[in-house]
A and B are shown apart, each in its own frame.
Chain A
Amino acid sequence: MLWIGIHLPELGLEIFKQRLPKTPNKPAVLALNNQISIIDQRAHEHGIRVGSSLATAHSLTTNLIHFNRDEDAERQRLRQLAGITYRYTPMVSISPPDGLLLEVMGSLQLFGGLGRLNKRLRHLFQQLGHRTLFGMAHTPLAALVLAKSNSKADLPDFPNKIVIQSISEQSLRDVSLAHTEIEPATIERLANMGIFNLGVLLALPSHEIGKRFGTDLLTYLDKLTGKIADPRQPEKPDERFQSSLHLLQPVRDKETLLFPMQRLARELQGWLRARQLGVTRLQWEFRPLSGESLVLPANFAVPRSNAKSILEISRLAIEITALPTEVLTVVLRATITEPLSNNPTTLHNLFQSPTSQGGSTPIDLIDKISTRLGRQALQAIRAIEDHRPEYAWSPSPPTDPLRMTRSPETTFAQSLISQGRRPLWLLEPPEPVNASHFVFLVGPERIEAGWWERDVVRDYFVGKDRDGAYCWLFTEEKGCFLHGYFS
């Protein structure tokens, strides 16, 4: 077993730095409970040290940026990184808070030796924007310890078990105890005895260590040296669906293309049903013999697992695109999948109830129309509590779950407020008009709002225009505008 331990000393800080649009030129620190836990190079230059308080740090430099530690985000990022390094070895394990472990004995042949593999990994992490320290040993704990202490272990390109073990044991001897995961209180006790290195500690008789420090330390040391096994949970990558069908003869027309698409859709259905997932976005790819292949995405408003509905929407999407002249291969990929039961609208019987005749559900209608006309062509509307009329409504996606859980109390209150005094048609944007063309009947109603944006100060009137239609007009500094029709 050959373990590569990767220590990411600034992971907590790097997560936040990556979210910023540009790398700032300011020193940055990571704080937990107002105490600094990670500093970066610039902060170090300014004199800030780990363990000092946030106030001290701010007083040392004026333009310091600090972030609060987010452990969940760190764990998530570690999992992501594990997924990325999965291409080098199947056995990747995370060691929170800031370590990754890769077991690479089986990958050496493929990647041409340990040296090359290391180089590739270092390059990968550099591109991902993380500072890393590498360590290699025969046990996971030893690998991490060696990584933290930044010791240079000279392993040959294709080492065997014995070589690995002897070289790691040799390197472990010089490692200071501060880099291990032994408790600080124990480290202090050992320091009082004059033991600063692992080598000295490992040389002591285990019976005595156990008596003085307890079995925990003993177990740790045994796992470190390999006397006790230390199994690690490998990280499983997310499952993806991709299936392709090679056609015997190139297909030219869209009707014939539906048959292979149907087969692939059925495969997808089986895959989804076995995992209780629904697909919300998928991708069809049509490859000709030579030339560019056509990639066609299809979106669904709710996760779907039925081959028939998937095929129907895909067929709509195909009808409006031009296919390559001869299609030889059809590929189907499920890009985004979601568990079926998580989505509240699938649980809600509101949309699954058989009130619709014609055999299709209301969601099918949304999917069909948004596929053919584009997503922005289909909207639902929502009323919002705002005095400014143009903001008192907003378009929203038809399956937005927030809409459906709106409480009836607000509806009733709103309807009381707005009955009879609001026009059924709203002009967007308001049209500038000549006030003399109208007969002003009712008003004024002053609406002043939006002081946090552009202040809106308007006097609203109900007026009648030359054709006899009742209009909602307002006067502002800029003049008179028509905002709606009381139809």
Chain B
Amino acid sequence: MSNVEPLLNQGALWRARELTTLAEASVATGIPTGFKSLDALLYDRGWPRASLVEILSESPGNGELRLITNGLAELSHQESRWVAWINPPHVPYAPALLGAGVDIDKVLLIHPRSHKEALWSLEQTLRSGTCSAVLAWFNEADLKLPELRRIQLNAKQGKTWVTLFRPPAASRIPSPAELRLSVNIKSADELQLAIIKRRGGWAMKDIAIELDQEPATRSPNIFEQQLKVWRSRHTVSRLPKTRYRETRPAIGALPQHHSSQLM
């Protein structure tokens, strides 16, 4: 029994009937996904900081980017390492990324010409430890299990959050990834997820995630930081306080200025 206890505590072993206590057992070391309902279901209360995550979606445009942009935004501002995109299917649109809060100075696009080159560049980004997050798109037919294992190991070594985008058919193939989800768009402000594999819990289906468009409800850190910098750069001058008489001000007098709150 004594052998099992430390394993249980570390989370390397988990009891199937204790799923409801996942909330207490989970460790909040992950990158916040930006969706509270999703955070509650994940072992690290967010995306794992040093592991392989697989996101399965039908085709690009099914909500897979929207799922991770919050995490990318947080990470790009917290850390000064690169966020690398290997072989993206289309152009990641810079103004939209900016609007989502991602620091595009840290974004790096890599365009390999073959599967071997793609694997090599992924390995380089992971082993150098210079990327905080890597998003990769591989040709599914060329991807093999030993390669995935190696990616997982390198991600742990380089302390990088790697996300691999694969088609839904890959859910039937086992994979060493720590977290596997599938996603598609249900409506304009709802994503439908299914967790195929996660640490410390069973698979789950039909998870609905609300997409909020308002920046205020997202993680306030990014915008607060930006606001602070903006304020420090702009010193808003106050007009000297003149004493006006208790009558109405004369026509043409300047309105009183308060220190302006941005929005």
Contact = CB atoms under 8 A, between A and B. Distances in A.
Nearest to B89: A425
Given A368-B124, A395-B109, A487-B66, A424 B100 contact: yes
Interface stretch (B8-16, B138-146, B225-233, B249-257): B225-233
Contact of A364 (B61, B107, B130, B226): B130
Interface in B63-101: 63-66, 69, 79-82, 89-101
A159 B219 CA distance: 87
Interface string B95-119: 1111111001101111111000100
Contact of B185 (A382, A411, A427, A468): A468
A407 interface: yes
A415 B112 contact: no
A381 B110 contact: no
B221 interface: no
B158 A358 contact: yes
A96 interface: no
A209 B245 CA distance: 84
B109 A355 contact: no
A357 interface: yes
Contacts of A427: 90-91
B60 interface: yes
Most chain A CB within a 10 A radius of its CB, from B125, B129, B229: B129
Nearest to A483: B93
B59 A467 contact: yes
Contacts of A441: 188
Interface string B156-168: 0111000000000
A365 B230 CA distance: 32
A487 B57 CA distance: 11
A362 B129 CA distance: 8
Interface string A360-382: 11101110110011001111111
A424 B66 contact: yes
A441 B129 CA distance: 44
Contacts of A364: 128, 130
Contact of B112 (A353, A377, A398): A377
A178 interface: no
Contacts of B64: 487
Interface string A383-419: 1100001001111001000011011110110110111
A394 B109 CA distance: 12
A424 B130 contact: no
B126 to A, nearest CB: 9
A284 interface: no
A424 B124 contact: no
A415 B101 CA distance: 7
Given A350-B80, A373-B121, A487-B65, A360 B98 contact: no
A416 to B, nearest CB: 8
Contacts of A358: 127-130, 157-158
Contacts of A424: 65-66, 69, 92-93, 96-97, 100
A101 B28 CA distance: 76
A350 B80 CA distance: 7
A420 interface: yes
B81 A415 contact: no
A239 interface: no
B156 to A, nearest CB: 11
Interface residues of B, number: 61
Given A404-B105, A408-B233, A424-B93, A369 B121 contact: yes
A471 interface: yes
A470 B128 contact: no
Contacts of B234: 409
A411 B96 contact: no
B233 A485 contact: no
A422 interface: yes
A362 B130 contact: yes
A469 interface: yes
A419 B215 contact: yes
A428 interface: yes
B131 interface: yes
B213 interface: yes
Nearest to B232: A408
Contact of B129 (A357, A395, A415, A468): A357
B61 A418 contact: no
B230 A409 contact: yes
A412 B129 contact: no
B184 interface: yes
Given A365-B124, A418-B99, A428-B90, A381 B104 contact: yes
A86 interface: no
A59 interface: no
A426 B90 contact: yes
Contacts of A415: 98-99, 101, 226
B175 interface: no
A423 interface: yes
B165 to A, nearest CB: 10
Contacts of A381: 92, 94, 97, 104, 107, 109
A426 B91 contact: yes
Interface in B184-237: 184-186, 188, 213, 215, 226-227, 229-230, 233-234
Contact of A487 (B61, B79, B131): B61
A398 B188 contact: no
Contact of B60 (A377, A379, A425): A425
A368 B120 CA distance: 11
Contact of A398 (B80, B108, B158, B159): B108
A362 B112 contact: no
B129 A356 contact: yes
A278 interface: no
Given A356-B81, A369-B124, A470-B61, A418 B95 contact: yes
Interface in A327-378: 350, 353, 355-362, 364-366, 368-369, 372-373, 376-378
Given A365-B124, A379-B108, 6 more contacts: A358-B157, A369-B121, A372-B121, A395-B109, A424-B93, A426-B90
Q: Which 10 A-B pairs have the closest CB atoms?
A: A485-B61, A358-B129, A357-B129, A393-B94, A487-B65, A419-B99, A422-B96, A469-B61, A418-B99, A383-B94
9 contacts: A365-B128, A373-B111, A409-B233, A421-B99, A424-B97, A424-B100, A468-B185, A484-B93, A487-B64
Interface of A: 350, 353, 355-362, 364-366, 368-369, 372-373, 376-384, 389, 392-395, 398, 403-404, 406-409, 411-412, 414-415, 417-428, 441, 467-471, 484-487
Interface of B: 58-66, 69, 79-82, 89-101, 104-105, 107-113, 117, 120-121, 124-125, 127-131, 157-159, 184-186, 188, 213, 215, 226-227, 229-230, 233-234
